[in-house]
Amino acid sequence: MATTTKVSALPLDYKATQKPRTLWGDAWRRFRKHLLAMLGSTALIIIMLGITFGPLIWTLDPTYIDIVDSFSGMTAEHPFGTDNLGRDTLARVLYGGRVSLAIGVVAMLIGILIGTLVGLLAGYFKFLDSPLMRLTDMFLSLPLLPLLLVITLLFRDSLRVTFGPELGIFILTVIVIGCLGWMPTARLVRGEVLSMKEREFVVAARSLGAPDFRIVRNHILPNVLSPVIVSATFSIASAIITESALSFLGLGFPPDFPTWGRLLFDGKDFLTLTPALVLWPGLMISLTVLCVNFIGDGLRDALDPRITK
């Protein structure tokens, strides 16, 4: 990574005892001081560890029906209780978390990748600006849900045959959500790039004869990272929620396949009877989204050298 601080002005003996400071080192130092961000990361890591290794420890099958034990309260046998068919809520929440988080992260990566690329190109190259931004407008004006329905209808069967029902729908869902969620990122990035490319250091780099690719990579991209990271956090949240909506409309995963959104929708009918069915998946969705937002907040502060406390 590029070093931005020259340390030659410091006293010689000081320099010998201190490691050179880097952009990322500084960022990490600032990030650690951000209390909420650290709390968020800790909680998210715990959730991630839980859903990754939890099912190995809590080995109940999330789809196993034990009708005799329906609506069980929080017992040692079922710490989170059971649903109307006697399926264990803890196992379902753990298993559902894998799917929901995987969808959130992968869809976010796809969206961010496309969004950043479009934003950089539109902001940096004037001749691409207008066509790319009109494309973005066009995507923004597309009604998301009907489009999702049509795409799922068209490609569901062929993907199901190729990859099986679960993986097929996973691929379809993340691609569709990712490809329809890049527009806000693209707009943000373009705006930042537009202001950035008039800055002195970019003008300096250009006057030194640096090629466009290097200017974008070394000077502009690191400086537009903070809005990208913030919108990435929002993308994860909205991807989890969009997947829930799809499942509810019957175009997502099979109805017995647990995801957090599906558990929430299934549980809402029993809100007065056994609130735990809604409480746990709801809590997990909120907690995850909150954590990711705190982390985004912390990262933004940490990565922006202009914000100093």
Partner 1 sequence: MKKPVLKIGALVAVLLLLTGTLGGVFAQDGETVTILYWQAVSNMNPYLSGGTKEIDAASLVLEPLARYDETATMIPWLAVEIPTVENGGISEDLMSITWKLKEGLLWSDGTPVTSADAVFTWTYCTTEETGCAQVANWTDVTNVEAVDDLTVKVSFGVPKPFPYGPFVGSTSPLIQKAQFEACVGVAAQGCTEQNFGPIGTGPYVVEEFRANDVVTYTANPNYREEGKPFFQRVILKGGGDAESAARAVLETGEADYAWNLQVLPQVLASMEAAGIGTIMNVTSSAVERIHINQTNPDPALGDARSVWAEDGSNAHPFLTNPAVYQALSMAIDRQVIAEQVYGPGGVPTCNLVAQPPIYASSANDSCLQQDMEGAKALLDEAGIVDTDGDGVRELNGVPLRILYQTSTNAVRQANQALVKQWWDELGVETELRNIDAGVFFGGDPASPDTYGKFYADVEMFTNTFDGTDPESYMAQQQCSEVSGPDNNWLGNNVSRWCNAAYDELFAQLSQTVGLEARAEIVKQLNDMYVQGGGIIPLINRADVSARANSLEGVRMNAWDAELWNIADWTRAQ
**Is 283 a residue that touches partner 1 (CB under 8 A)?**
no
Return d(Cα 107, Cα 171) in angstroms, integer: 10
Q: Position 90: which residue type?
A: L
Return d(Cα 232, Cα 226) in angstroms, integer: 10
Binding partner 1 by CB under 8 A: which of 79, 269, 275, 307?
269
Rank residues 34 and 262 by Cβ distance to partner 1 and give the closer one.
262
For residues 63-87, one letter each, b for 16 or more C-beta atoms within 10 angstroms of the residue's C-beta and e for the rest, the string is: eeebeebeebeeeeebebbbbbebb
Binding partner 1 by CB under 8 A: which of 157, 203, 212, 214?
157
Binding partner 1 by CB under 8 A: which of 8, 141, 207, 272?
272
Site string for partner 1, 48-87 (x = CB under 8 A): ---------------xxx-x--xx------------xx-x
Contact 231, 112 (CB under 8 A): yes
Return d(Cα 218, Cα 1) in angstroms, integer: 9
Rank residues 102 and 245 by Cβ distance to partner 1 and give the closer one.
245
Minimum Å gap between C-beta 279 and partner 1 is 17
Contact 243, 177 (CB under 8 A): yes
Rank residues 201 and 265 by Cβ distance to partner 1 and give the closer one.
265
Return d(Cα 125, Cα 226) in angstroms, integer: 21
Q: How far is CA 150 from the centre of its chain?
A: 24
Return the range that interacts with partner 1 (CB under 8 A); candidates 18-26, 159-167, 204-212, 218-226.
159-167
Binding partner 1 by CB under 8 A: which of 138, 145, 153, 203?
153
Binding partner 1 by CB under 8 A: which of 10, 46, 142, 249?
249
Cα angle: 17, vertex 4, 27; to 5 degrees: 75
Minimum Å gap between C-beta 158 and partner 1 is 7
> Contacts with partner 1: how many residues (CB under 8 A)?
26
**Is 145 a residue that touches partner 1 (CB under 8 A)?**
no
**Is 201 a residue that touches partner 1 (CB under 8 A)?**
no
> What count of Cα atoms within 13 Å lies in the side-chain half-sphere of residue 176?
27
Minimum Å gap between C-beta 71 and partner 1 is 7
Minimum Å gap between C-beta 94 and partner 1 is 19
Return d(Cα 107, Cα 240) in angstroms, integer: 9
Contact 277, 266 (CB under 8 A): yes
**Is 158 a residue that touches partner 1 (CB under 8 A)?**
yes
Return d(Cα 229, Cα 223) in angstroms, integer: 11
Q: Tell me which residue of 97, 78, 101 sits closest to 88, measured CA to CA.
A: 78
Binding partner 1 by CB under 8 A: which of 250, 275, 283, 286?
250
Binding region for partner 1 (CB under 8 A): 63-65, 67, 70-71, 84-85, 87, 153, 157-158, 160-161, 165, 248-250, 254-256, 266, 269-270, 272-273
